[in-house]
Amino acid sequence: MDLFVHYLSMPYLVEGVGYTLLITVLGLLGGFAMGLVLAWMQLSRFRALAIVARGYSIIFRGTPLILQMVFCYNALPLIGIKLTAISAASLALALNEAPFIAEILRANVIGVDRGQVSAGQALGMTPAAIMRRIVAPQAIRSMVPALGNETISALKNSSLASVVAVQELTLRSTQLASATFDFFSIFFASGLMYLVLTGAVAVIQIVIELLLDLDRPPPKEQFARFMRALLPGRGESALATAGAAPQTPADVAEEILEEIETDPLPPASPKVVNLHVRGIDREARARRLAGNAVAVEVTGLRKSYGPQAVLAGVDLTVRAGEIVAMLGPSGSGKSTLLRCINRLEGWDEGAIRVGGRFLGTDEAGRALSPRDVAQMRAGVGVGMVFQQFNLFGHLTARENIAGPLRWVQGLSRLNADRRAQELLERVGLAHRADALPRHLSGGQQQRVAIARAVAPGPSVLLLDEPTSALDPELVNEVLEVIQRLAVEEGLAMVISTHQLRFAGEVADRVVFLSGGRIVEEGPADQVLNTPRHPLTARFLSKMSAE
Ligand SMILES: Nc1ncnc2c1ncn2[C@@H]1O[C@H](COP(=O)(O)OP(=O)(O)OP(=O)(O)O)[C@@H](O)[C@H]1O
């Protein structure tokens, strides 16, 4: 035992630990830098870069680290690159770690919900802003465990540096054991030193995970919990003074009831009812709209996915302030048309103008870069609401609205927060401003998403089946918000929906799509009550029966 303790504090071995740490840190830093480049190359639009990165990964993941160390130390001098043993070992470790780290980075970047990327694009964020503000913060959170594993594995792999005579812990332990024949105590001490190092990595990983945990309670509540654990009984009062009462199931039920009472939306503006139920107002409105400028103009739009024609020559004009409901069976191309209008999708033939501008191309029809498209989208003012809400999962309701206002519109934090709060109030969610999306119901999430889409003051709002992912009891709360905004904001809206009653009450015009074509369009009353095309009639009677 004495010998074991003696070896644990022996400067010769402790120095070996220093070399082990040095190679590991250098190898990981180099591996991370190269891994970032490799991941970027693999995610790049340019296939050649992706192929080169893949080739590198195959070679360096497929050959043993020990051979790579020998190569760096013995073969590189043949081409004039002479490295010290430590540099050669660190370089080999970096070269070997890079493809593993690249795969971790790539997998976690790809793992971030694509819908959030679409939402960022629709809000006018550039690809760089989407990566920095949306993808990276979420990817980093989910890659911590895998990076922790990789760090531990690199630390253990550093022992292979002994093959090029780096005086790290394993080599020194072996040399000492060969000289003293005290194998057991020496290797036990060295094993314990490795354990302490890997244990420290594990602790750092846990701390980072805790710090990045979005569900981490605020410091005040953490203190209350700590006090409760420390002082059973007395902790209750500490808890109460810290402002967080312990919750029984009855408390929770009461809280939910309270929330339901405070949550209902303010009643729909009476203006809505007047405008959309009394026929005379509809006619007056139709006349007024006819004189408005064209907000969206789609001409001869054709798009195919492979051999499947999804849009087969669509012509559509929407005027400023007009609300168009788009109906049609599943797969008729409604979502695709909406995604084309704000250039989330490209198309094969035809043209789309939003606010008089060709979104995504210059006047000569040449495609713009994703960055220029993003800026144009923000400039033209076209917002989008998605079927699956697509809120940014790591941001609170307020930040979901205020963030894009700062990043795209350049508002100050104060003004962006003020606008976000005002919109949350309008959609009846001011009291949930600090909630994360996953702590909101589907209906609440969609209300936040609508508030986020209208926050920059777009002139056109596209809504892609905004209620179809909701439970039936949540549909009305979202429809009410849309109905209210439609009137208050005076936006041009194109809504893909299956809600016939809603379309009848809110829309000025109904467009019926089938097989990628508009087969019928006209005033909402006429299309919904006296459809002319047999496909429309069949669809409406089927929907009404449901
Ligand atoms: N990225 C894609 N790749 C290949 N096919 C696609 C893609 N997106 C859509 N499609 C196909 O295009 C057709 C139209 O899809 P779209 O989502 O526009 O229809 P929709 O009318 O919105 O349907 P729903 O009401 O069910 O949402 C469908 O057949 C769909 O399978």
Q: Tell how strand 349-354 and strand 357-358 pair up.
A: antiparallel
pLDDT in tens, 282-293: 788 888 888 888
Atom 16 in ligand 1: residue holding the nearest Cα: 333
**What pLDDT band is residue 427 in, cutting at 50, 70 and 90?**
confident
pLDDT confidence of residue 45: 84
| Mean pLDDT of all residues in 426-448 | 91
CA 351–ligand 1 middle distance (angstroms): 20
Q: Tell how strand 509-514 and strand 492-496 pair up.
A: unpaired
ipTM of predicted assembly, 2 dp? 0.95
Instruction: Report whether pLDDT(240) > 70.
Output: no
- DSSP per residue, 348-378: SEEEEEETTEETTB-TT-PBPPHHHHHHHHH
Atom 31 in ligand 1: residue holding the nearest Cα: 331
> What strands lie across the sheet with 509-514, from one edge to the other?
382-385, 460-464, 492-496, 323-327, 509-514, 517-523
- Who's near 442: CB < 8 A, 6+ residues apart? 389, 469, 470, 471, 474
Name the 3-class secondary structure at 317: strand
Whether ligand 1 lies within 6 angstroms of the CB of 305 is answered as yes
Contact 332, 514 (CB under 8 A): yes
DSSP state of 268: P
pTM score, whole prediction: 0.81
Domain 270-381+457-545 class in CATH: alpha beta
Q: Which residue has the higher pLDDT, 481 or 75?
A: 75
- Output the CA angle 124-357-503, nearest 5 degrees: 75
pLDDT confidence of residue 279: 47
- Who's near 309: CB < 8 A, 6+ residues apart? 302, 303, 516
The CA distance from 518 to 334, in Å, is 10
| Mean pLDDT of all residues in 5-21 | 92
CA 305–ligand 1 middle distance (angstroms): 9
Atom 12 in ligand 1: residue holding the nearest Cα: 310
Choosing among 1.10.3720.10, 1.10.600.10, 2.30.40.10, 1.10.1740.10, the CATH entry for 2-212 is 1.10.3720.10
Domain map of the chain by residue range? 2-212, 219-247+251-262, 270-381+457-545
Instruction: Report whether pLDDT(277) > 50.
Output: no
Whether ligand 1 lies within 6 angstroms of the CB of 332 is answered as yes
Whether ligand 1 lies within 6 angstroms of the CB of 516 is answered as no
pLDDT in tens, 322-376: 999 999 999 999 999 999 998 999 899 988 999 888 887 877 778 888 888 888 8
